[in-house]
Amino acid sequence: MEVRRQGTAMEALDIEYVELDPDRVVMTMPVGPKTRQPAGLLHGGASVLLAETAASIAAALNIDMRKSTAVGLEINANHVRSKKNGLVTAVATPLHKGRTTMVWDVKITGEDGKLICVSRCTVAIVGLR
Residues that are catalytic: 52
DSSP 3-state of 94:
strand
Distance of alpha carbon 117 from alpha carbon 77, whole angstroms: 7
**Do residues 100 and 71 touch, judged by C-beta distance below 8 A?**
no
**Alpha carbon of 57 to those of 38, 41, 82, 94: distances in Å?**
29, 26, 25, 12
Q: List the beta bridge partners of residue 42.
A: 36
